[in-house]
Amino acid sequence: MQTIKTATLAWGLSLAGFIPFGFLAIALLVLGPGSGFFASLFDIFKIWSALILSFLGGIRWGFAIANEPFENRNLLLSVVPSILAWFVLLLPDAYCILALLLLFSLHGAWDSFYINEGKVAPWFGKIRITLTFLVVAAHVVVLFAIS
């Protein structure tokens, strides 16, 4: 019973976390680069994207230390998304969005392999696959908006 409540809460929070991606991607596409709000909304999108990528690394950190023996390799790798997210913010706009799109895709694949090993609850896998698809799609929309 508790697992169902946890899964439902996790779904709700995950979808709420997607709202800024979806809203900003559509706003950027509709407004276009000529809008006075475009640059600010674009920066907000990039920053939100980097924050969420860092958050995903934090989830991996939690998985790595959740059980003994600790997963030192995963613990070390869990900080990579934060470092890369910060670095790609320094790239020119199109490269930044493309790099973030790629990093979300890679993180989704990494999580899928981990989930397939049976190390986390199956419902988490469904969330990660769905959210990876949605977030990558939002980045594609932003690529169209800036071109």
Q: Specify the residue for token string 């939100």.
A: 48
In tens digits, the chain (147 residues) has pLDDT values of 566 788 899 999 999 999 999 999 999 999 999 999 999 999 999 999 999 999 999 999 998 898 788 889 889 999 999 999 999 999 999 999 999 999 999 999 999 988 888 888 888 999 999 999 999 999 999 999 998
Note the Cα 61 to chain centre separation in Å.
15
The whole-angstrom separation of Cα 127 and Cα 40 is 29
pLDDT of residue 1: 56
pLDDT of residue 121: 85
pLDDT of residue 4: 75
What tokens does 62 get? 């939690």
pLDDT of residue 118: 82
Alpha helices in the chain, H assignment, sequence order = 2-31, 38-66, 72-77, 80-88, 93-116, 122-146
Note the Cα 19 to chain centre separation in Å.
12
Q: Which domain holds residue 140?
A: 2-146
pLDDT of residue 70: 84
> How many domains does one find in the chain?
1
> Which of 53, 59, 58, 30 has its CA nearest to residue 101?
53
CA dihedral 56, 57, 63, 65 (to 10 degrees): -150
